[in-house]
Each structure stands twice: as C-alpha cells, then as structure tokens.
Amino acid sequence: MTLAAELPWLWGSLFALALATGAAIWGMLPRYSYDGALTEASSNARFESFVLWSLLLSIVLMTIAMGVRWDRIGHGPFVSLFELLMSQIWSLSIFYIVIYWRAPSLRGTSVIIFPALWVLGSWVLILDPTASFYPATYYNNWKWAHVLFGKVFLGAALFGVGLAGIILLRQTRAAKLFSKMPSSAVLDHIAWRFMMLALIFDSLMLIAGAVWAQDAWGRYWQWDELETSSFLNWLYLGAIIHLRMTYRMPLQVGAWLVIGVFVFAFLTYFGAPYFSPSAHKGVV
C-alpha cells in the first residue's frame, strides 16, 4: 500500500489544529491557587497567541496538502468527500482565523469552533484518499463562484454556532469561563448579523449553482436531493431571520435556531450526497 502524497501534510495540519484546540480550551480554563482562590481569569493572552499561530500553521499545511493532492490527481477539491472535507476545514479555518485575529473579545468562541472543525477533521482521517474522477461539467467557471459563496455561507454559519454555543454554555456551570467575553445580548446580536451574511451568501450560492446547473446539466433547478436540501436550508434561514426581527425571543431559543442553520447546512453538504445518487449530476 502506498501512502497518498498529501496525507503527511494533512496529518500535520490536523496536528496543528489539535494544538490550537488544546491551547484554546486550556487557555479558557480558570487557574486556582493551592488554597482554592481564583488566581487568573480565562482567555490567557499567551495561549491566544499560540492558538493563532497554530491555526495559521494548520491552514498553511492544509494548503500544501490540497496543492499536493491537486498536483497528484489533476484537479481541485471538488468531487470526493475526502477532498471536500479537506477543502471545508481549510476555508472554515481561514474564515475563523480572520475573526480570531481581528476580534480578540470573541476568541472564546474557539472552544466551540475548533471541536466543530474536529468533527470534519476526524471524518477526513477515516476516508479513502483515492483519486476521484473529475466530470467534464466541472470545468465550468461558475463552479468557482458557487463554491466560494458556499464557503462564505458555511463560514458565517459556523461562527454563528460559536457565538450561540457561548450563549448556551453561559446557562451552565461553565458560564464563568466566558466572563471576559461580551454579554450574551451582544453575542446574540453578532450571531444574527452573521446569519444575515449567511443568508446573502447562501442566496448567491444558489444563484451561481443554478447558472452552473443550467450550463452543465441543461436545467437551472430540478428539485433533486441536494437542490431541495439547499432550498430548505435557505428557507429555514429566511424564516428564522424573520422570526428574530419580529418577535422577542429568549436568547437561548435564538441560539438554538442559529445552531440549526449550521446543522442543516452540514447535513445538506455532507448528508444529501450520501443518499442521493443524483447530487451534482455530472458525477454520474
């Protein structure tokens, strides 16, 4: 058995992500003296710097892994679940590192975001890296727009999960871990702002996908499994934004609704292709 050339880089990237995850969680834990008094609050700045650099290293290594695979199989990460997961970990990490870098007060979200990334990371480790077949219809340039918009959408949805997760954790005994972060009302506000961003990019993704589908498969919409799931996801996002703008709802309820967007998107991206032989018809 030969080792796929991209695997060492992938493992390196996930190891760096593991370091970032461990440091992010360790950094959030409170420190106590021998007599039990709290000596240091959460969000240790030294750990945050380590987290930032580890995440950057993870992105660089994942970029190399994707480049090596691209060179090996002759096409980008657009077809098999193995390469789609690599690509998603990469783009979600990029989306998040910008926020982590630019918004220090929100770095506590890393204890939610990194484990979520690890769900993808664990999954990719058990998949077969065999070269995938690249359908002729995938050479269409609209694919790039479709994928790019989708990545921004999923990035915004994942960050919403991070914020919503903090709001929910504040209802537990872990609340004090996030005492340095903005209030839950503020987190809620930011989360919904990201839901708006998600709605815009989800819409753009659907439009670009429809143009691609028209060129590639001769119809812009056919209610196949993936399309229907994407549409339901868009409808759900639109509905909860309407709800949020119209009704006062407890922050916890809003948080669960926000988490629902990512869960829905996750099931659409990685679930629908499992039970749909027609997902992105060019593959068949």
Residues that bind another protein (CB under 8 A): 105, 133, 135-137, 139-140, 170, 175-176, 178-186, 189-190, 192-193, 196-197, 199-200, 203-204, 207, 210-212, 214-220, 222-225, 228, 231-232, 235-236, 238-239, 242-246, 251, 276, 278, 282
Amino acid at 124: V
* Nearest-angstrom CA–CA distance, 218 and 211: 10
CA distances from 41 to 37, 53, 143 (A): 11, 22, 47
Least distance in Å: CB of 243 to another protein?
A: 7
Q: Given the complex with another protein, which of 59 and 99 has the nearer CB atom?
A: 99
Give yes or no for a contact between 11 and 58, defined as CB atoms under 8 angstroms apart: no
Least distance in Å: CB of 198 to another protein?
A: 11
Q: Is 134 exposed, middle or buried (0-12, 13-18, 19+ CB in 10 A)?
A: middle
Q: Given the complex with another protein, which of 97 and 207 has the nearer CB atom?
A: 207
Least distance in Å: CB of 6 to another protein?
A: 21
Q: Would you give the end-to-end CA distance of the chain in angstroms?
A: 28
Q: Given the complex with another protein, which of 70 and 217 has the nearer CB atom?
A: 217
Q: Which residues pair with 32 in a beta bridge?
A: 38
Least distance in Å: CB of 115 to another protein?
A: 22
Q: Given the complex with another protein, which of 125 and 175 has the nearer CB atom?
A: 175
DSSP state of 6: T
User: Tokens for 269?
Assistant: 């991206």
Least distance in Å: CB of 133 to another protein?
A: 5
Q: What is the maximal distance between C-alpha atoms in the chain?
A: 72
Give yes or no for a contact between 254 and 188, defined as CB atoms under 8 angstroms apart: yes
Q: Given the complex with another protein, which of 11 and 133 has the nearer CB atom?
A: 133
